[in-house]
Structure 1
Amino acid sequence: MTTKIIAEYAKSGRSSCKKCGKAITAQALRLGLVTRDARRFDMTKWHHLHCFPEKIDSLDVIKGFDLLKGADQEALKKFADESDKSPKRLQGKNDEEEREQEEEEIEMEKSNSKKIKMSAPNEKDELDIAFSVSDVKDKYKDAALEPKWKAFQTIIFLERDDGLHDSGKVAAFDFDGCLAKTSVKRVGANAWSLMYPSIPQKLQSLYKEGYKLVIFTNESNIDRWKNKRQVAVDSKIGRLNNFIKQVKVPMQVFIACGIGSAGSKADDPFRKPNPGMWHIMEKHFNSGIPIDVEQSFYVGDAAGRPNDHSDADIKFAQAIGLKFYVPEDYFST
């Protein structure tokens, strides 16, 4: 297991300090201890600056330090200097408190491992989805998945594409109608073509500029086709695998398989325009690196225009706070 330190501004007031137990207010500076387990999943324990229990040997080890305001950088420098002078006895007390809190968190995770909490519709609080490695599967319901592909609740994701680098800058894309030309009447891994000839070069340039490339795509047929679910899964994953091979750039992929709200069914938190896929990526699949939404963006074709099939893509971007582009504009420049 590896541990890292990250610094960022709290996106909401939902997180609490793992030392004092008090809430960390929205936009307040918080420090996180990020632990990555053997399966490459991240767990972050947040703290107020003055509650952070670890000695900071160097500011170079803190992810996100360069994104902080000048005053907060100075406060963090001062805290790092003072941590060298802290009595060893006090550190021992912090360690004991940390162990007690870890035991409480384990019990809480057991009881809440399948619980999904969403903020009220009018609030800007981040979506809070309980994620547990034990809930990650090699199959989606009764359908087998190809190597490197995993399932969690109603999403399928590409666990780790070779060469992928996590980053504070994310270039995110829809798939069907944005990167690939597909048809609901055609099924199969090869039943697609590039939407625009400039796509490979554009994606390769973004990768070289330090962007992490991520695809967020809805595919409700995977849930709808109960008798042909394996066909739907193989078709979607096959197209995505072939697309990545053709553009020759590593990408991360999340597929929302849920049908969404209908009748008595609750709205699926992962299906766009809901931002569940983004929050899973940000919290658990970006090495604890805070994402700068000012430098990140999302491209999709469902923008709510007269001939668009929906407005799911533009609302997805708005829910996260990302700049939004339609593919014909983005890939023509």
Structure 2
Amino acid sequence: LSLASRLWDYIAVRKWPRTLQTTPAMTKRVASMDDWLLGGAKKDGTVVTTKSGRTFPTDEHDWRFFSDSVPQTLATVAAQNFRIVFFTNQRALFSGDDQSSIVQVFVSLGSLQYRKPCTGMWEHFEKYENGGISINRQCSFYVGDAAGRICSSLRGKKDHSAADRLFALNIGINFFTPEQYFLKQTHIENYILPSFSPSLSLDAKLCLFEPEYLFCHISSVFRCLFIGYAFSLLGFFP
């Protein structure tokens, strides 16, 4: 298990076994998914969930596949020359190794650029862990349970976040919920995303200040208050 760190952020990378032969065709299309069972730290389910029904597993044996179709679905995807990659946020996890893994697993152990919905884990995978092969994002997809879905008659409780849907959106690949991908659910559940869209703001031609003349006639010292989400690096302005 290799560990790379920047500032207070960490990413743990589980590589493919050396005996597994890969070809360029296997690395151009990526089937990426949320979560993996790591030392009993798995929380809730995209590929696996708990047998007990609890949010957190009671031990390393308290797990089951999200549905009976998961193994065959993953086998089908692998047969179609997709590379299967798991991206998961596990800030509390700092050690552990599973020699039986035959897929790539990227674990965000910190809270900055590697933590979903930030794209650090994907960028690290694409730059350093994919054999230098460019990825066809139009043919790649991400499956995750943090989809921003609201409480409804179909869903007893809302999703804990929208980080997985935003992760796919930030990367520019297709997104599916576990129900859509493994259970072939065709109904699109209602979901809520943050009202602020970085991509729209970057594309828009906006003034530096609103109104534009806000600071034009100020000659004395003034205080500027920056407001943003946690870990948005507001304190790093010069």
Q: Who is 2:2 aligned against? A: 150
Partner of 2:86: 215
| Counterpart pick for 1:171 among 26, 31, 36 | 31
User: Number of paired residues?
Assistant: 158
The question of whether the paired residues in 1 share the 8 Å contact of 2:48 and 2:65 is answered with yes
SS at match of 1:319: helix
Q: Among 18, 33, 48, which residue is 1:180 paired with?
A: 48
Q: TM-score, normalised by structure 1?
A: 0.45
RMSD of aligned residue pairs (Cα, Å): 1.9
| Match among 120, 125, 129 for residue 285 of structure 1 | 129
For 1:289 and 1:296, locate their aligned partners in 2 and report how far apart those are by CA, in whole Å: 14
Q: 1:187 Cα deviation (Å)?
A: 4.9
Relative to structure 2, which stretch is displaced further, 173-182 or 200-209?
173-182
% identical equivalent positions: 35
Aligned partner letter, 1:156: A
C-alpha distance in 2 between matches for 1:187 and 1:292: 39
Tell me the alpha carbon deviations over residues 245-268 of structure 1, each in whole angstroms, 9 at most, x when there is no partner.
xxxxx311100011x2xxxxxxx1
Deviations 1:257-299 (A, max 9, x none): 11x2xxxxxxx10000001000000011111110000110000
What secondary structure is seen at the aligned counterpart in 2 of 1:221?
coil
Structure 1 residue aligned with 2:167: 316
Alpha-carbon shift at residue 151 of structure 1 (Å): 1.2
Residue deviations 1:56-100, cap 9 Å, x none? xxxxxxxxxxxxxxxxxxxxxxxxxxxxxxxxxxxxxxxxxxxxx
Shift in CA distance, 188/164, structure 1 to aligned 2, threshold 3 Å = farther
Map 1:194-233 → 2, pairs under 5 A: 194-222=65-93, 233=95
For the pair 1:331 / 2:178, whether they are aligned, the reply is no
Instruction: Provide Cα deviations, 1:163-207, integer angstroms capped at 9, x if missing partner.
Output: 263410000000241001045543543332111111111111111
The answer on 1:159 being equivalent to 2:15 is: yes
* Alpha-carbon separation, structure 2, partners of 1:325 and 1:157: 24
Q: Do the aligned partners of residues 294 and 328 (structure 1) sit closer, same or farther apart at CA in structure 2, a change above 3 Å counting? A: same
In structure 2, the CA distance between the partners of 1:277 and 1:164, relative to structure 1 (3 Å rule), is farther
| In 2: Cα distance, 1:187 partner to 1:164 partner | 36
Residues 305 and 150 of structure 1, relative CA distance in 2, 3 Å threshold: same
Equivalent-residue separation in structure 2 for 1:318 and 1:292 (angstroms) = 15
User: Structure 2 vs 1, CA of residues 164 and 329 (structure 1 numbering), >3 Å: closer, same or farther?
Assistant: farther
Whole-Å separation in 1 of the counterparts to 2:58 and 2:106: 19
Amino acid at match of 2:80: E
Task: Identify the structure with the greater helix proportion.
Answer: 1
Describe the superposition over 1:190-246 as per-residue Cα deviations: whole angstroms up to 9, x where unpaired. Answer: 332111111111111111111000000111222xxxxxx5xxx34xx55xx67x5xx
Hey, what's the Cα distance between the residues in 2 that align with 1:304 and 1:313?
8
User: What is the one-letter code of the residue matched to 1:155?
Assistant: I
Q: How does 1:1-333 map to 2 (within 5 A)?
A: 149-153=1-5, 154-161=10-17, 162-163=19-20, 165=22, 166-175=26-35, 176-182=44-50, 183-222=54-93, 233-234=95-96, 237=97, 244=101, 250-258=102-110, 260=111, 268-306=112-150, 307-333=158-184
Find the residue that maps to 1:314 and give its secondary structure. Answer: helix
Task: Find the aligned partners of 1:151 and 1:191 in 2 and give their Cα distance.
Answer: 27
Stretches of structure 2 lacking an aligned partner (at least 5 in a row):
36-43, 151-157, 185-238
C-alpha distance in 1, partners of 2:60/2:107? 15
Larger RCO of the pair (alpha carbons < 8 Å, separation 6+) = 2
Greater shift after overlay, 271-280 or 187-196? 187-196
Provide the secondary structure at the position in 1 that maps to 2:138.
Answer: coil
Q: Cα 1:189–1:150, aligned 2, differ >3 Å: closer, same or farther?
A: farther
SS in 2 for 1:255: strand
Q: Hey, what does 1:94 align to over in structure 2?
A: none
